[in-house]
Amino acid sequence: MKRVLIATHNAGKLKEFGALLAPLGIEAVGAGAMGLTEPDETASDFAGNAQLKARAAAVAAGMPALADDSGLCVAALGGEPGVLSARYAAGDYPTAFARIIAACGAAGEWRARFVCALCLAQPDGTTATFIGQADGVIAKAPRGEGGFGYDAVFVPDGYEKTYAELGGAVKDTISHRARAFAQVVKGLGSSCRSAGGDG
């Protein structure tokens, strides 16, 4: 079986990548299992952070690595927390949900967007990066037990349930991460630079 290193220590992301790769006969190996540390996310956008994480992992491990940088952009917060989504919650998602819901309520604006930049890096440091987005609204209260992160407060367009209520089987067909992943697989779409790699 082919193996791809998933340059993340986030168990939720690793599980989703495992489910996306399994039908392709590819095993997802987590960065933790390879003893890799995560570089600081110093870029100002999703693509830049995905590239630095994927490249560092691929070069260190000597095998192809996929990294995702993702987050929730809330219209009422001017697009924040965005690349700072993990830091905005700081492990306390109930409090983050309450702050986001309060901001949406105060603004009367509930639109939000999940963004995922997915970078495939080779051991020689070359990369190709793809962007996936999922538009939706913030739920007026968190709902559902599945998933991770902000899943309980995001209702994707075309659905009435949150990502957490929809569960992995549905989320993995419509999510920002699934959309970016589909571009990697097909070699289509919005590579940040040329087909030969973006740096």
* Shortest distance in whole angstroms from residue 199 CB to ligand IMP: 19
Name the residue number minimizing CB distance to ligand IMP.
149
- 41, 45, 80, 109: which one binds ligand IMP (CB under 6 A): 41
State the alpha helices, DSSP H only, in the chain.
11-21, 46-61, 85-89, 93-107, 163-166, 168-174, 176-186
Map the footprint of ligand IMP across residues 68-107, applying CB under 6 A.
69-72, 85-86, 89
> Which strands sit side by side in the sheet containing 127-138, from one edge to the other?
26-30, 2-6, 65-74, 111-121, 127-138, 154-156
Nearer to ligand IMP by C-beta: 151 or 165?
Answer: 151
CA 23 vs CA 17, 18, 178: distances in Å: 11, 9, 13
Q: How many chain residues touch ligand IMP (CB under 6 A)?
A: 18
Among 5, 118, 128, 151, binds ligand IMP (CB under 6 A): 151
On the CB side of 8, CA atoms within 13 Å amount to: 23
Q: How far is the CB of 196 from ligand IMP (least distance, A)?
A: 26
Name the DSSP letter for residue 10: -
- The yes-or-no answer on residue 69 being catalytic is yes
Name which of residues 2 to 21 contact ligand IMP (CB under 6 A).
10
Beta bridge mates, 71: 115
Note the residues at the interface with ligand IMP (CB under 6 A).
10, 41, 69-72, 85-86, 89, 114, 147-151, 163, 175, 177
